[in-house]
Structure 1
Amino acid sequence: MHDIRFIRENPEAFDAALARRGADPVAAAILALDEKRRAVATKLQEAQSRRNEASKAIGKAMGQGNTDEAEALKAEVAQIKQDMPALEERERELGEQLQTALAVIPNMPFDDVPEGANEESNVEVSTWGTKPEFDFEPKEHADFAPDLGMDFETGTKLSGARFTFLRGDMARLHRALGQFMIDRQTREYGYTECMPPVLVRDEAMYGTDKLPKFAEDSFRTTEAHWLIPTSEVPLTASVMGDLLDESALPIRLTALTQCFRSEAGSAGRDTRGFIRQHQFEKCELVSIVKPEDSSAEHERMTGAAEAILQALDLPYRKVLLCTGDMGFGARKTYDLEVWLPGQSAYREISSCSNTGDFQARRMNTRYRPEGEKKKTEFVHTLNGSGLAVGRTLVAVIENYQQADGSVLVPEVLHPYMDGVTKLEPVS
């Protein structure tokens, strides 16, 4: 959500920031709607003030024996009371229209975000690791993982396309990855482990900018709950409506949860394999910080996600997304893209975003600076994957594949695998 005062004071700068994202100018329309709302609010305040003044004057007129004046004042008060509900309803309607208009405007990018229309304009910041060399032609995971327990057929039989049934050591490896991630994020990076609900109300989805714009990308139950597309939603919304003490910041939360996405906007993409699923597991990172700390926190969060890839010895690159490729609520985003030998390509495995105060305004989450009695400020929120478990599983399978179809288990995962160091094809 945007600050209407900023738009009033900087309409040209606001439109220029949106233009960098390829969005049309909206400041004039927003301000026209805001002016209508403020005009009605002024009329309402004037009516309330006049009602109070006239009510007091009635008693004075009666005390002076001026019956005609008292009756006239009573009639005026009655008319004001009759007119006020319509003014109140009009103010409410215009306020809702303004909120609706603001709710679908994307966030403004930071100045250091490169401008561009799509992923072609993203900027590679760094690379890490050495791509593995094979004495055979490496395969895509979808071509050999079924023999290791990645059962696409049963997943489809049970639930349809983009669902998978993991078995045996493949399921164990998936579990090991998730446990390893949550352990590292809590023990080494100070995130507090949480177990949030995976069903949330509209307010939580709206506050984290998933509604109204992206309703079609999520699943909704018949009882009007939403299945979370990421635990960013409940973790961030856990402070929805709160007034926090400065001493409570930063708040760093993590959760390993199931996530659910309809993938309505990705028809035809990654239909093979385990890359893009309707149901998947992810270790999410969320930070709630003071505004002046959010840029440094963004770097810290991205580093925490990178550390998982480094521990697994998976080659990757860090990419700064351009204005046209960033998510709706982001002001700046780093993507981590892991190397997949079977595809001979880098693929996204984590996005870490700084949303500034965009979500905080939607959630009405503030903090009181130390020493202040009345002044409050909106917090900044950040979110990132540390990491997407399924995509990490794919990366491990492809990077550690052997000529005989087996897969070596990364050494760092051995303590989680109960002695299993290699996934063997099931005969």
Structure 2
Amino acid sequence: MITAVAASMGRAATPAPGAQSSRLPRAVSRLRLVLRSSEAAARSGRERWMGCFRPAPSPATAAAAVKEAMKGKRPEVEVEPARGGGEDVWSADAEVAQAGAFPEHLVIMVNGLVGSADDWKFAAEQFVRRMPDKVIVHRSKCNSATQTFDGVDLMGERLANEVLSVVEQRRGVKKISFVAHSLGGLVARYAIGRLYEPNSRSKSSGGRDDVEHLEGHIAGLEPMNFITFASPHLGSSGNKQLPFLCGLPFLERRASETAHLIVGRTGKHLFLTDNDDGRRPLLLRMVDDSGDLQFRSALRSFKRRVAYANANFDHMVGWRTSSIRRQHELPKHRLLVRDEKYPHIVYVEKEVTDNNGTEAHADLYDPEEEMIRGLTQVPWERVDVSFQKSSQRLVAHNTIQYSVRGSRSHAYSNSHTKEQPNLYLQCLVDTY
């Protein structure tokens, strides 16, 4: 029996001549594959070890490599809660290119009345994707919902503290810009007055541009762009400055008397009815340097100041107050021509400084005229926008902020796509 079992086992272990010839090549192939893999692993290990002694690529080389790899690919966007509130948005690819560092340009986005940081979410992401190696965007969160009723000054103080926290956290940033919607424009103007630091360099030598651009810093950073969208720079108390009241004097008077009942101290500031400690209305003080708050100097320190304004269909903020103009200075409708690149832009006025403003009547005090004169002591660009052909024209006040969404919302006409440049982030893009 043992002999029979051994014989059967021997037969099973001995392959047929045909089977032996077919298995031999496969075994050899497997052996070659194993040897080749081992050799590749060893070579990879040697390369990694030798890489420790090679010089690291320069930031420019690394950035170029990342840009090459990103061709045809949407940059990844990272979001992180910032110390002190809000969220920072940046490109993960830019962080890799700069060996873990962040871009040097910090952009602060500020919401308007009853708004929140979420209002800028999509815009921030699109902006970072558009300029992945240049900007880190911070969406402010310190003034949301009913906190926007606390008054421009308290909101401005909170924003200033939040910005300081962000700068402390992101020590690599060197430049700063502000992008603000509606009431956020006034809050940002107050905050930069608090954050302004005079430049220690002499201002007597050099030309006019040197004086303007090198006059100081904001939170220790180089000021670049100050951009507002439909912001009531002149307040809401003048005729047709609050358009949904239809310019009726009775309604406008009632609004100025009751605004504080609805939107608290903010209403008093907007209608210039505040007189805290017997002082002049806050918006009048914010057009000049006032004590330790250097409002005008802070504005002057920015390389660009741009006021975007709705020429029509904005029922919350009038055309004059958002563009910082007198009534007779508003462009005539026959001059409003659509821009080929940005179809909703209908008029652009480049860096205008008011050196010969209309004199106010001696017997009639006009606070609006005083604010115009003060604010236009520094040059502003005015960009007038019209959503007349948009399905969202009746809510133009919000559309001017959300227009960055392109075809993903109804704010743009159907001819726009999400990848096309939006109508307002153009300002920061064109700076580079």
TM range (shorter): under 0.3
Structure with the bigger RCO (C-alpha within 8 Å, sep 6+) is: 1
